Amino acid sequence: MRLPCEVSVASRLLPSAGLRGPGRAARAVLALGKPPAGGGGGGGGVWLLVSTARHRPGAKYQLRENIEHLFTKFVEEGKATVRLKEPAVDICLSKANVGHLKTFLSAMKLADRGTSEESLPLSTLAPPKASEVEKPKTKMTITSRKDYPFTQSFPYTLEQLQASYCKLPRIDMRILCLKSLRKLDLSHNLIKKLPVTIGDLVSLQELSLQGNLLESFGAALCNSTLRKSLQSLDLSQNKIKALPAQFCQLRELVHLKLDDNDLIRLPFKIGQLSQLRFLSVARNKLPFLPNSFGKLSLESLDLFGNPFEQPNPLAPDIQLKIPLTLWEHSARATINYRSVSLSSPSQCPPVDLPSAPVSMAVLTGAEGRITPGSWRPPGRGKEGEMDFTSLIKLHYYFYQLRRFQVQQLPYSCHVLPSHLCHDLDMSKSCHCGRACLSSFIQTTVTMNLHSVAHTVVLVDNMGSTEAPLLRYFCSLTCYSQFLDRHLQSIR
């Protein structure tokens, strides 16, 4: 039984003699076994062999009734300390595989109790090979299929892995077990789909999938641990047509490359990527930029080769519904009052769904009654219809918060149905700062890209650095005010 790790052996007698302890930990292999006959083991039982690159024959320690204490507080971090009675030393282990370390420590406990050697999976102690005590491999580069380790495992200590031009049709599941991986380059393969489990790479900071056959980037990945770790993402030269709205959950992104795809739109809340500094979306099919694009603060921006439409603020797309539906009114109020999130869902006021029929005076201050069989929210198609119970729960939630005089209105899936939260998260922002959902006016305006980026690659061969930007208005009043300002600016 062997355990590769880093080891330092400290004598507890050195401080009393005025001597310094050992230096830095060294790469080593620990082994449990029986000493060879005539090998100077000094008796039977189970022995511990600690071998390093400098001293491969290693130092042997008898374990039977010789372990004073096992310190395992940080075993989940791959660390432990074995305190021996004779000699009086502490064997400090670190950077070990957590599962292997737990198994090894369990075997040591059994050996200390005098468990029969035959009941433990032991062999005769022998010095390890030189390759076993060398410094663990943290970087691997593979640039052809013939060099790919189909029959060998990847070193679990890898921090950087490049496997390019290997014609991989999918991501190797063995890669997803490399918990120390910080940089993963799978460019120029044949990958069509990303597994959800790629989000289990908790240390992943850089991911390159350039030159594959991807058609999407799953919403589940955006909600995984990648939200907190991923800083660089390269999805260029694929077949992606759109990114999910949840893509903006990757708040730590600094570099984003989306060149040479089939993108027809960017995530409409891309402005939430506050850490983003380098954005490249060249040679796609973008007709305009989303409304929140103006919130970005970039150092470099490349939008060359997109078929941008000519902005026309005087030709709006009017989708206003007057008067506002009960759904629109409730949703707008919920979003407009949501300025902070509570630290715990339990801090939210209680929400008890009233039984139908519900008095309109309770919900809106108006007279009348509505029932599940007689009313359906207007403005929703058959596939997008809001069920009666969900709508009443949303509006009643807003009513209760008004009754409790709550000025800041949080919401989450703990207090509202998940599909309601999804619809609220997909809301649009008017120029006045208020929200709108299915009732709005939409138009395009001209945006100078230098207002969001220090360095801008020319948008076209004519030398332009301007692009059309979508803009939403929650009412005719907001649009009229914008139109007045626009007409005054072009006089």
| Domains of the chain in sequence order | 2-132 (2.30.29.180), 139-314+448-466 (3.80.10.10), 328-424 (no CATH)
CA angle 209, 211, 213 (to 5 degrees): 85
Q: Which of 198, 199, 151, 161 minimizes the C-alpha distance to 182?
A: 161
Q: Which of 80, 77, 59 minimizes the C-alpha distance to 69?
A: 80
Q: What is the pLDDT at residue 370?
A: 36
Ranges under pLDDT 50 in the chain: 339-386, 404-407
Q: What is the pLDDT at residue 376?
A: 40
What does the radius of gyration of the chain's CA atoms come to, in whole angstroms? 32
Tell me the CA distances in angstroms from 250 to 246, 270, 326, 488, one per residue in order: 8, 10, 33, 40
Which amino acid is it at 395?
Answer: H
pTM score above 0.75: no
Q: What is the pLDDT at residue 356?
A: 35
Q: What is the pLDDT at residue 236?
A: 97
Q: What is the pLDDT at residue 447?
A: 93
Contact 67, 82 (CB under 8 A): yes
Residue holding tokens 């009043």?
A: 477
Q: What is the pLDDT at residue 400?
A: 55
Q: How many helices (H) and strands (E) does the chain have?
A: 8, 24
Q: What is the pLDDT at residue 164?
A: 96
Question: What does DSSP say about strands 428-429 and 139-142: parallel, antiparallel, or unpaired?
Answer: unpaired
Q: Which of 247, 309, 305 minimizes the C-alpha distance to 280?
A: 305
Tell me the CA distances in angstroms from 277 to 57, 254, 256, 297, 299, one per residue in order: 53, 5, 8, 7, 5
Can you read off the two tokens belonging to residue 111? 């050996």
Q: What is the pLDDT at residue 343?
A: 39
Q: Which of 380, 330, 331, 375 minimizes the C-alpha distance to 357?
A: 375
Q: What is the pLDDT at residue 289?
A: 96
Q: pLDDT tens, 153-171? A: 888 889 999 999 999 999 9
The pair phi, psi for residue 419, each rounded to 5°, is -70, -30
Contact 191, 171 (CB under 8 A): yes
Q: What is the pLDDT at residue 22?
A: 60
Q: What is the pLDDT at residue 328?
A: 86
Contact 174, 151 (CB under 8 A): no
The CB density around residue 371, as the number of other CB atoms within 10 Å, is 10
